[in-house]
Amino acid sequence: MFNKNTYNPDVLTCLANLSNDEVFTPPQLANQMLDLLPVDIWNDAACTFLDPGCKSGVFLREIVKRLDHGLEARFPDRQERLDHILTKQVFGIATTHLTALLARRSAYCSKHANGLYSICSSFSDEAGNIRFNSSLQHTFDRAGRCTFCGASEATYARSDELENHAYEFIHTDSPEEIFDMKFDVIIGNPPYHLKDGGHGQSSTPIYHKFVDQAIKLAPRFIVMITPSRWFSGGKGLDEFRQRMLTKRQLRSLVDYPKLFDAFPGVKIRGGVSYFLWERDYIGPCTVQTMWDGKPLGEAAVRHLDAYDVLVRRNEAVPVLEKVLAFRVDGHPESKLDSRVSSRKPFGFPTNFHGRKSPTGLSDPIKLHGSQRVSWVERESITQNKLWIDGWKVLTTAVQGTSGAVETKFLSNPIIAGPGEACTETYLIAGRFSSKESAEHYASYLRTRFVRFMISLRKATQHATKQVYAFVPDLPMDRMWTDENLYERYGLTPDEVAFIESVVQPMEA
């Protein structure tokens, strides 16, 4: 029962998020991230900390609280202790003017570092060690993109009265000059994306730029929470993923695949994760999946660069190993990504629609499009014309979920016969000379086994041809079922149970 005399909520748990791209970190989650650091760091009066993307200031506040306790023996006088911590050890770069005030209020107990109510008595200016450069601007190239973050000039060339989101930490080639000092720990929850001026809500990831810039400063430790899309996808993230996996400097990775789990009320498709990067470490990484705020299964210690993408669930690794190790006449099986088309298989964009009926067309072709079927002239198709008169299996290029976690991973396949084509809404998952083979293939794609293999590479709602790269390309002279696929690859009952806990069945 609510008791007005004892109820004392942490105000930082009550803040509304700025957007899905700038998310406030709950104090409990911030402390879980801080727990990854060595415990003796809180007794070190020389250790320095930087949050390069301050919003609520929660990381700085919790760091101050830990240092306040850990340095009590070194500085018995609390005011002396706090002055040392706040002036010599804890630093931040705010994302906006508003968050600068919030972060100072959290760390100094005053929006002005030198204010009457500040817990630090040594600052001479209002900012203290939490700075915000309001004069910083994007640097746009001739193509209208910021050379540092890729922001669209059409979207972010703004007047001085509006925030332009030119984040200081990533808008410089010399981040070490911002505070003119070295840091032992860089920690935070950076902004995730910026609108890039593309179609609809198109945006460009920027969180990896904060990670790369932090690595450039060569601290002892980096702890950051970001979207998990970089594991296997994401626009412009291929090089970042390759570096993160192959350098083997990630000591710990904690993954939240379920929507709203880490950040209640914030919809980040593909989930989020946080990691501990260690400068002087090279080795395997401890991977832990979280579900409903609690560890799901045992943590596993494994090398993250076993594949070109990060397989996020530990239980999936032995299944994948069995499938990839399978041999036919001494040779590994081909994979389905070689069958699947690229986007716009016939050149038509998603928003294209033909006529409502074939009436009046000299050589009508049935066109599968977004939420409808229409008709076009054969001669209007200029791309992959030879595919028109074969049997085709279509799947949607985007397959999202309305729930907290994806469970289908693929749309229900559509069989398109001779004289049929499609818009960019679909990919051609396979082409065949007979209806029977197409039906076998569609049935194969509906199996839980195939969709599980797709899930290992599918970080977002986009089901591009790359997500099929773990799926065996089997002969379509028979109707494959989950049961004979499980038997073919020697899966154990526990492995089968895991697959079926992840992937829902799909009816024809």
Cβ–Cβ under 8 Å, residues 490 and 310: no
pLDDT attached to residue 384: 97
Give the C-alpha separation, 118 to 121, whole Å: 7
pLDDT attached to residue 18: 58
Give the C-alpha separation, 388 to 243, whole Å: 42
pLDDT attached to residue 1: 35
Set out the domains of the chain in order of their start, with CATH numbers: 11-314 (3.40.50.150), 321-502 (3.90.220)
Give the C-alpha separation, 257 to 409, whole Å: 14
In single-letter form, the type of residue at position 388 comes to I
pLDDT attached to residue 6: 47
Alpha-carbon torsion 292, 293, 294, 297, what sign? positive
- Those residues with Cβ within 8 angstroms of residue 360's Cβ, 6 or more apart along the chain or in another chain: none
**Helical packing angle, 58-70 and 97-108, nearest 10°:** 20
Three-state SS string over 228-285 comes to HHHHCCCCCCHHHHHHHHHCCCEEEEEEECCCCCCCCCCCCCCCEEEEEEECCCCCCE
pLDDT attached to residue 451: 96
| Dihedral over alpha carbons 214, 216, 221, 227 (to 10 degrees) | 40
Give the C-alpha separation, 155 to 165, whole Å: 11
Q: Which of 92, 152, 83, 80 is nearest to 127 (CA)?
A: 92
Tell me the average confidence (pLDDT) per consecutive run of 10 residues in the chain, 508 residues long.
46 58 87 98 98 96 97 97 98 94 95 95 96 92 91 83 87 94 97 73 87 97 96 90 97 94 87 97 98 93 96 96 96 96 94 95 96 95 96 90 78 96 96 97 97 92 91 96 98 98 92
Give the C-alpha separation, 130 to 52, whole Å: 10
Distances (CA, A) of 166 to 57, 140, 200, 250: 19, 11, 22, 28
Distances (CA, A) of 209 to 3, 11, 266: 46, 30, 22
- pLDDT, one tens digit per residue, over 370-380 is 989 999 999 99
Cβ–Cβ under 8 Å, residues 399 and 442: no
- pLDDT, one tens digit per residue, over 107-140 is 999 999 999 999 999 999 999 999 999 889 999 9
pLDDT attached to residue 17: 57
Cβ–Cβ under 8 Å, residues 139 and 131: no
| Dihedral over alpha carbons 286, 303, 473, 488 (to 10 degrees) | -70
Cβ atoms < 10 Å from Cβ of 307: 18
Biggest alpha carbon distance in the chain?
91
